[in-house]
Amino acid sequence: MTKQRLFQIALLIWLACFVASFVVAWLTPARDFGFTAGLNRITTFLGWQFVASVLALGLWTYGRTLEKGSTGRRLSVVPAGFGLVLVVGLVGVVLWVSLTKPPPEPAVTPTPVTKPTSP
C-alpha cells in the first residue's frame, strides 16, 4: 500500500470521526436528571473530536513532508482548519454566553413575618 493510499484512508477516517462526533452526540439520549442531564452527550462529542484531532495532527504533520503546492499538502491542512474553526466557535459561544448575562435583579428586602403586608 502506497503512502498516498494511506493518506487518503486516514483522511476518510478523520472525516468519519469528525462527522460522527456531531451525529452520535445528537442521537445519544440524555441520561441522568438535573445538572448532569446531557453530560454524556458532551463527553461523547469530545471523545470523537479527540480522535479526529489526533488524526488531523498526524495528517498535518505528514502533509508538511509533501512537496509544496501539491494536492495532498493542501488537503492535509483541511482537518486542522476544521478543528481550529471548531475551537474558535466553541470559545466564541462560551464568551457570548458569559458576556450576555442579564443583569441581576435587585434583592428583595426581607420583612418580619409578623408584620402585615399592605395591599
**Size of the chain, expressed as the number of residues it contains:** 119
pLDDT of residue 117: 66
Whether 68 shows a pLDDT value over 70: the answer reads yes
The pLDDT of residue 49: 93
pTM of the model: 0.73
Residue 101 lies in a domain: no
Full residue range of the structural domain in which residue 51 is found: 3-86
Q: Is residue 105 part of a domain?
A: no
Residue at 33 is within a domain: yes
Q: Is residue 115, in this structure, part of any structural domain at all?
A: no
Question: How does residue 3 score in pLDDT terms, banded at 50, 70 and 90?
Answer: confident
From the CB of residue 14, how many other CB atoms can be counted at a distance below 10 Å? Answer: 23
**Residue 107 in domain:** no
Say if residue 102's pLDDT is above 80: no
Residues 84-108, mean pLDDT to the nearest whole number: 88
pLDDT, tens digit, 9 for 90 and up, residues 17-52: 999 999 998 888 877 677 777 788 888 999 999 999
Rounded CA-CA distance 6/108 in Å is 66
In a domain, 119, yes or no: no
Burial 58-77 (b: 16+ CB within 10 A, else e): ebbebbeebeeeeebbeebe
Residues 66-83: what's their mean pLDDT?
Answer: 89
Number of domains, the chain: 1
The answer to whether residue 19 sits within a structural domain is: yes
- CA–CA distances in Å: residue 74 to residues 8, 44, 50, 86: 13, 30, 22, 19
Q: Distance (Å, rounded) from C-alpha 19 to C-alpha 48?
A: 9
Mean predicted lDDT score pLDDT of the chain: 86
Cell for 25? 452526540
Q: How crowded is the C-beta side of 53, counted as CA atoms within 13 Å?
A: 11
Q: Which of 1-10, 50-59, 62-71, 104-113 bottoms out in mean pLDDT, i.e. has the lowest?
A: 104-113
